[in-house]
Amino acid sequence: MSCDPGETVGAFLCQAGQVLRAAAIENPRLEARLLLGHAMGATTEALLGDSRAPVPPEAASRFRAAIQARLAATPIAHILGSQGFWTLDLAVSPATLIPRPDSETLVEAALDALPDRDAQLRVLDLGTGTGCLLLAVLAERPRAFGIGVDLVPAAAALAAANARRNGLADRAAFLAGDWAAALAGRFDLVLSNPPYIESAAIAGLMPEVARHEPRSALDGGVDGCDAYRRLSTILPGLLAPGGVAVLELGIGQKAAVEALARQAGLVPAGGRADLGGVDRALVLRRDG
């Protein structure tokens, strides 16, 4: 298929779609629309509504630079500067993992475990990253208050900015720290998407992940379970009576993490699979 020549929206979309497809980018036409819309400050609907509209030179230059970045495996969320998650629009940066739909499974599991919408919950998010898990829960539980902790100060700052961006700053606080070392008190809900990729497997991940996302948020040690070992020792002291913890799991990790939890006096209390059928969320309760 040949593309019409010229500097119109339709020509740019056609040419970029072909280039991205040749580079084995998934959803090349969608990505082309998102990148051109970002470069022009227009919605994708507006682009599709007038394919003959000219692309201003400045926007064309930004679009070409964005396509080159995408061909170099820069995640599209980093180029756009944001990523949707649950009902939220979140700023992203190389300091954190990009929120993924699989992690919405944790939000679903947490809401199922604590179904009272009006409960005055105390929520803790360990390894908060963009703040996606904590902020999604706060959006659904209007009387809850939460704390997000991340080892990386830039990540904690980004999460705080996302709380402001989504109108949740009055019910959320963020700090940089080593898991829960700086915290006292107990929580009704503890959330965590910890590093769980085996160290040797990181180099084989998609280039977008292996090259551009922080290794500290990926690397779970030789067997992928280092963070779960740490979490299993601290969760019993963090959970209030009747409280639950919800952890994200990697593929095939459910049995190993359940065993670590039981050794620490935590009781596996169900979980949830993601849309691909992977056991993704594990719910734990304190024993007694």
The reply to whether 33 and 126 lie within a common domain is: no
**What pLDDT, on a 0 to 100 scale, did the predictor assign at position 53?**
86
Inside any domain, residue 77: no
The reply to whether 138 and 45 lie within a common domain is: no
**What pLDDT, on a 0 to 100 scale, did the predictor assign at position 4?**
66
**What pLDDT, on a 0 to 100 scale, did the predictor assign at position 288?**
62
Question: Which of 24, 42, 72 is a domain's end point?
Answer: 72
**What pLDDT, on a 0 to 100 scale, did the predictor assign at position 41?**
87
Tell me the mean pLDDT per 10 residues along the chain, length 288: 74 90 91 91 77 87 93 92 95 94 96 96 97 98 97 96 98 94 91 92 85 84 93 95 96 95 94 93 87
**What pLDDT, on a 0 to 100 scale, did the predictor assign at position 5?**
67
The reply to whether 40 and 87 lie within a common domain is: no
The tally of domains found in the chain comes to 2
The reply to whether 185 and 59 lie within a common domain is: no
Inside any domain, residue 207: yes
Place of tokens 């056609």: 14
The reply to whether 65 and 117 lie within a common domain is: no
**What pLDDT, on a 0 to 100 scale, did the predictor assign at position 2?**
67
**What pLDDT, on a 0 to 100 scale, did the predictor assign at position 1?**
56
Question: Which of 25, 48, 72 is a domain's end point?
Answer: 72
Inside any domain, residue 3: no
**Domain range for residue 42?**
9-72
CATH code of the domain covering residue 109: 3.40.50.150
